[in-house]
Amino acid sequence: MSSSGKVYLVGAGPGDPELITMKGHRLLRTCDAVVYDYLVSTAMLEWLRPDCERHYVGKRAGLHALPQEEIEDLLVRLAREGKQVVRLKGGDPFIFGRGGEEALTLRKHGIAYEVVPAVTAALGCAAYVGVPLTHRKFSSSVTFISGHEQPGKEAVLEIDWGSHAQSGSTLVLYMAMGRLEEICQQLTARGMSPTTPVCVVEWGTTPRQRSVSGQLQDIVWRVQEAGVGAPAVVIIGAVAALGDSLSWFDPVI
């Protein structure tokens, strides 16, 4: 490993800046450079030193500030300049955050790195709408699924929706809003009850949080009627019905 700089792959959490770890907070206060994503709370940038380099590399649907390969090249360059670098990623770096790809690139180039985990979107969003992802009476397992894969892959067709439909596990879908109707059809076609509860959480854990509840058979039109979109997570399973009774977070819009 290089003895010059070091890259910390830091999870920023699901949105609420207070959900970052103490270690992540300390690294942001002391780093020489930060490379941050679209979903990172801007409040976290206020913790940086005045002389800290800031590199925005956010990605939104159809709009990427930098391609992934260039982000990885940037991390390598900054570390080779002897800088302590925080790669600040929304959610957790190793859960649909492409942190694994960045870690592999850093290792390939002999760059020292460390991973700082965080509260991932599924956990944070579910908690803030009062949905327990596991519950002794309803679900003893939870599955995280990406609704969006790399271009050129037919992700919805490759995922074994039949197994998920029959598993009894709580399903949490990331990056699925563009394919929500297709995914609901896949699940019902493979045996999941159309009346299975569903909860969609937009901008979870932030003041912009909104949620829509329904069933597998009607959640698409409910989401459309409410105008809810990305970024959002979709929670499918019996526990999703508990959100209305256990919700505690009151966002200020």
Q: Which amino acid, residue 188?
A: T
Q: How far is CA 96 from CA 9, 46, 66, 90, 147, in A?
A: 13, 26, 18, 10, 10
- Looking at the DSSP bridge assignments, the partners of residue 202 are 210, 232
Residues with catalytic roles: 37, 59
Task: Give the pair of three-digit tokens for residue 176.
Answer: 């699925």
